[in-house]
Amino acid sequence: MDICDDNGNNRALIKIIELARWAPSGDNTQPWRFEFIDDNTIDILAHDTRDWCVYDLDGSASEIAVGALLETIAIAATGEGLGVSFSYRQQDVVGKTIIRATFEKVSVPPNSLIPFIEHRCTQRRPFTTTPLSNIQKEQLQTAVGSDYRIIWFEQKYQKKTIAKLLFKNAHIRLTIKEAYEVHSRIIEWDTQFSETKIPDQAIGLDGMPLKMMRWAMQSWSRVKWLNRYLAGTLLPRIQLDYIPGLKCAAHFVIIANKPLDSEYAFHQGGRALQRFWLTATKLGLQFQPEMTPLIFSRYDEMSLAFTNDYNATAKAHELSASLNELMGHETIGHRVFMGRLGIGPTPVSRSIRRPLNQLIK
């Protein structure tokens, strides 16, 4: 492997990382940078967002994203006739990890998921309710592997139950200051595509609700006023949570056989998620994460405060009880990812990614 670019970096590795940067991450935070060590080696400098993001409890959301990155690297490497192994280096700073990727020539065909890496995206608008076929569900189960199972919620009454749960959960998301501070940081207004944030046109709101949101997001005092006097959460919760919750083929939860009790376990869960998501894209399905119920319920299960708002804390406790009833108490600590799937239009607005030159140290 001696063909290099102008900076001396191996071109095959450049092509791999060029694809891998399209891995999903919460709110398009892209919690990674890359350092080329030699012709066969790249260090992945991973960090989490726990210091400012209420949705990144103990860095686990970022760790799932890093796992998705690792899987994308492994998939992309097959397109260059390479295999990759990952090793962890000691890191003393909480929330930061260095993972070394070492590449070697292997005789394997290109992974069939490669063409879908860049096209995989989030669609927040309603889907059709056309059911998933047994073949589709079997392929998605095969994608996550034998260390994981999928709980499906696909009957009409189940989707209605999930839609109500999402509607209630969204009240937490839209009324606490901690979430407002995240939303005000990660939305880019008046844009179709964003390299570092979520474009407002991809949020899933239209017309007056979007205009109201933009007005309110200029300050926390405006959000409180809107919520208090104009029921400001009602329309967004209906349009962003309740209707999409009904309009899909199915909701799903990926469950790990073993507890998610380490950074490595969350990385492995993220790898399974990325295989699932890419396979869904290959099957022509649209996809939306539904992670905040899992996150707020996990705060409750761990008895950790995420806000000073007593009502929101009480709602998180109720949410946790509802999820346990739906998924079983035995799945606590094993829930990797929650989302919905279905047939729908490809998003016309989406988060893109930082250029590769901004990601290389």
Q: Could you give the C-alpha distances from 74 to 100, 102, 113, 204, 225, in angstroms and in order? A: 13, 11, 11, 32, 49
Written as six digits, the tokens of 111 are 């992974």
Residues 211 and 79 occupy one common structural domain: no
Q: With 60 as the cut, is the pLDDT of residue 2 above it? A: no
Q: Which of 87-91, 175-179, 217-221 has the lowest mean pLDDT?
A: 87-91
Residues 84 and 143 occupy one common structural domain: no
User: Taking the complete model, does pTM exceed 0.75, yes or no?
Assistant: yes
State how far the Cα of 99 lies from the Cα of 361, in Å rounded to an integer: 14
Q: Is residue 127 part of a domain?
A: no
Q: Which of 29, 138, 20 is nearest to 77 (CA)?
A: 20
Radius of gyration (Cα) for the chain, nearest Å? 20
Per residue in 19-34, pLDDT (tens digit) is 999 999 999 999 999 9
Written as six digits, the tokens of 139 are 């392929």
**How large is the average pLDDT for residues 144-154?**
98
Q: Which of 7-16, 83-92, 111-120, 257-266 has the lowest mean pLDDT?
A: 7-16
Collapsed DSSP state (helix, strand, coil) of residue 53: coil
Where residue 3 falls among pLDDT bands split at 50, 70, 90?
very low
Per residue in 209-261, pLDDT (tens digit) is 899 999 999 999 999 999 988 888 999 999 999 999 999 999 999 999 999 99
State how far the Cα of 217 lies from the Cα of 228, in Å rounded to an integer: 15
Residues 179 and 322 occupy one common structural domain: yes
Give the long-range contacts of residues 151-158, CB within 8 A, separation 24 or more: 151/252, 151/253, 151/255, 151/327, 151/331, 152/250, 152/251, 152/252, 153/250, 153/251, 153/252, 153/253, 153/326, 154/249, 154/250, 154/251, 158/251
**How large is the average pLDDT for residues 291-316?**
97
Residues 231 and 279 occupy one common structural domain: yes
- Percentage of residues in the chain with pLDDT exceeding 70? 98
Per residue in 106-137, pLDDT (tens digit) is 999 999 999 999 999 999 999 999 999 999 99
Cβ atoms of 346 and 14 closer than 8 Å: no
Q: Is residue 359 part of a domain?
A: no
Residue 111: per-residue pLDDT? 98
Residues 174 and 31 occupy one common structural domain: no
Q: Is residue 245 part of a domain?
A: yes
Residue 230: per-residue pLDDT? 82
Residue 7: per-residue pLDDT? 55
User: What is the pLDDT of the chain when averaged over all its residues?
Assistant: 95
Q: With 50 as the cut, is the pLDDT of residue 73 above it? A: yes
Residues 158 and 112 occupy one common structural domain: no
Q: Residue 62: give the domain boundaries.
A: 11-118
- Supply the CATH number for residue 274's domain: 3.40.109
Residue 92: per-residue pLDDT? 75
Residues 223 and 259 occupy one common structural domain: yes
Q: Could you give the C-alpha distances from 339 to 26, 122, 163, 183, 195, in angstroms and in order? A: 13, 10, 12, 20, 23
Residues 139 and 240 occupy one common structural domain: yes
Q: With 60 as the cut, is the pLDDT of residue 5 above it? A: no
Q: With 60 as the cut, is the pLDDT of residue 51 above it? A: yes
Written as six digits, the tokens of 178 are 């901690």
Q: Is residue 177 part of a domain?
A: yes
Q: With 50 as the cut, is the pLDDT of residue 166 above it? A: yes
Residue 296: per-residue pLDDT? 98
Written as six digits, the tokens of 239 are 């349009």
**How large is the average pLDDT for residues 190-206?**
96
Residues 139 and 86 occupy one common structural domain: no
Cα torsion angle, 326, 330, 331, 332, sign:
positive
Q: Domain ends where: 60, 93, 118?
A: 118
- Percentage of residues in the chain with pLDDT exceeding 90? 92
